[in-house]
Amino acid sequence: MANQDYEERPQTQELGYDPNFVPDSVKSFVVHLYRHIREKNVYEIHQMYESSFQTLSERLFKDTPWPSVDAVAHYVDNDHVFCLLYREMWFRHLYARLTPTLRQRIDSWDNYCSLFQVVLHGVVNMQLPNQWLWDMVDEFVYQFQSFCQYRAKMKNKTEQEIALLRQFDQAWNVYGVLNFLQALVEKSTIIQILEQEKEGLEQFTATDGYDYNGGSNVLKVLGYFSMVGLLRVHCLLGDYHTGIKCLLPIDISQQGVYTSVIGSHITTIYHYGFANLMLRSECLWSLLVKDSEWTLPSKDSNPFQALYPDLINYLFYRYVEAIREFNKILLYIFKTKQYHQKSPQYEQILKKNEQMYALLAICLSLCPQTRLVDETVNSQLREKYGEKMARMQRYDDEAFAIYDELFSYACPKFITPSAPSFEEPLVNYNQDAYRLQLKLFLYEAKQQQLLSGVRTFLKVYSTISFAKLASYMEVDEPTLRTILITYKHKTHAVDSDGKITSNADVDFYIDEVQVLALTTICITESVDTIHVVESKPAKRYGDYFLRQIVKLEGVINEMDVHMIFSLKEFNSGSSPVSKIVRANVEHSFNLLQDTIHVVESKPAKPYGDYFLRQIVKLSYYVNYFSLCSSLPLSSTSIFLNILCSPKPLVFFMGVSSNPKVFLSDKDLKGANFVDPELGLLVPNEGCQIFIQEDHHLFKLKHLSVQERHQQQQDNKDRH
């Protein structure tokens, strides 16, 4: 995902740079990389590409380009394909560290043309890491974007630069870029491969695109990533429908090769979510609803499905889809970003992360669907944009200024692909495409102003008459019908199964009349009562408690390291003291003059485990008791010794699946409770455990002197 956005960088090479000087470390790097490519050692190639190349660039070529390809060609037997790969890395380093000249931009285009021609029409027998192949496609699109931005700044161009632009007018031509990407998709037959994989005939995703039978993965994986590249190019051009259509062969709801590279994963979801955010259908909708003679069909019919079968999937704003995908990728970045801190892409990961939070704030402001957002992501979002999101709901001038700010920060760097007119006065037009997209977006945001008024009234009422709502909104009934239809239009979407679903936090219907399947709104002249249906998302307590447990563990770890430390130091951590609830933990603390004194508490004795062990032992004696009709307390000495108590303890709680003990108030008069919650009691003298004939009830019986004597005599006779 290197170099997603065009940014000004320091001007080119220093005067002391010698393109023909090759340090020994670079010589060794080139020789070993060439050998590993010939041996198809993907692991070593990946290590050298990700680690060694970045280390050498940081140490030796921080402000200068790498040695020229002519200087290193004889170390690799003048291998044509390797030299093209080296030049691709050379130009990528130049774009990342310095500002390329116009001549270098044109040379980079020629190198990409030569490289892709070899892949498309030659015989490529090598395996390259997915990271490298993704960077090729990503850098190709980035340099196209950068060239269009550079060419659009005509005001300060020199005569030499204008002459070069005239001479090489086909360099980075938009048709050439799209043709190369589309040719890679078609030549690789990646669409057919993905279709066969669904039927179990291929294993492209399972092997991450690699060929373990001695073949090459270059063409197939380049074709796969080119679909993502096409999505990105079409988003830069403002053609969002075509961009999403190019990505259809990839099921982004599942893990795939695109998720094996963090840059590919983030770029795919960012542009897919943005395209869904920007998809609009005002023109088609206005054509259908402006006809006053158009009648509403029956409940089960769908006129759009019959009239426009190919357009049904993009008739609506896809806010819900954008929210769902932004939520998933932001949660993924939150959990894994610490593993990419040493990656050269780390800064770009953080930047895209912030941009997608801004886009998610826009989506949720236009389409309140917090139930689709994970608690972790929602918490981060509220910290970053909570106040702005509250102001965006007002739909006043301040709200539109915030929409403008967030959109400008989070949108791609749109381009104007056409070449300038050299006969007219030279002006800068690099911002024209951005201004057009911003204008379209703000137009849609302003349409939500009337809808916010509808939502406000619907939240107050459970039912409201048509005429009453029209009077509150100060409009006539025909205008209100238009507003309600617009509300339905903006808050409904078509899911992946073709089913129309509501994405509104507050929905409504108008009594029991004819229903339009596309809008689920009921409109007739006979009934005019609006019934409000408010969705209440289920509360998710589990995520909240898990986060608090993690915070508490962090606090305990800090206490283990610093037994006594200042309150200010502790407050600088992730878990402030004010948020800690004193609980049953290994440590507690006292606050004395802004100093935390940690007090280590003694662990409580595990009485629960002790009683559980005794219950198991008791189960054996319950089986013994079930064979008897009654037992004197004197004959239960073994049973009492197991309880390790000076007085007999009798459990009257359930023991496994054995008979339960039930004691009435009368039975308990001669017993002293030890702990009513634990269910333990101590029988007094003269008490006896009595077992009924059905062996399902244990009772504590109080015996008189005569009864005790008679019981002893009966036991002697029985023995």
Distance (Å, whole) CA 526 – CA 674: 74
Query: What angle (nearest 5°) sits at the alpha carbon of residue 323, between those of residues 318 and 325?
Result: 100
Helix axes 80-97, 24-39, angle to 10 degrees: 130
Distance (Å, whole) CA 383 – CA 393: 17
In degrees rounded to 5, what are phi and psi of residue 661?
-100, 125
Distance (Å, whole) CA 39 – CA 126: 8
Query: What angle (nearest 5°) sits at the alpha carbon of residue 206, between those of residues 201 and 209?
Result: 90
DSSP 296: P
* CA-based nearest residue to 176, from 226, 109, 241, 95: 109
Q: Is the per-residue pLDDT at 6 higher than 90?
A: no
pLDDT value of residue 11: 40
Q: Structure tokens of 524?
A: 């007739």
Domains and CATH numbers, the chain: 282-316 (no CATH), 449-531 (1.10.10.10), 539-554+566-630 (no CATH), 635-719 (no CATH)
pTM exceeds cut of 0.85: no
Interval 421-479: pLDDT, tens: 887 778 888 899 999 999 989 888 887 766 766 777 777 777 777 777 777 777 887 88
Comparing 201-210, 522-531, 671-680, the range with the smallest average pLDDT is 671-680
What SS3 class is residue 105? helix
User: pLDDT class for 581, splitting at 50, 70, 90?
Assistant: very low
What SS3 class is residue 370? helix
Contact 547, 579 (CB under 8 A): no
Comparing 91-95, 579-583, 592-596, 713-717, the range with the smallest average pLDDT is 579-583
User: pLDDT class for 342, splitting at 50, 70, 90?
Assistant: confident
Distance (Å, whole) CA 707 – CA 684: 16
Residue in this structure with the two tokens 């030499």, named with its chain if needed:
160
The fraction of the chain above a pLDDT of 70, given in percent, is: 64
Half-sphere exposure of 473 (CA within 13 A, CB side): 27
Which string of b and e fits 504-541 if b means at least 16 CB within 10 Å? bbbbbbbeebebbbbbbbbbeeeebebbbeeeeeeeee
> DSSP readout, 34-91?
HHHHHHT-HHHHHHIIIIIHHHHHHHH-SSSPPPPHHHHGGGGTT-HHHHHHHHHHHH
Higher pLDDT, 442 or 487: 442
Distance (Å, whole) CA 27 – CA 34: 11
Q: Which residues contact 615 (CB under 8 A, 6 or more apart)?
A: 651, 653, 655, 656
Query: What angle (nearest 5°) sits at the alpha carbon of residue 103, between those of residues 99 and 108?
Result: 80
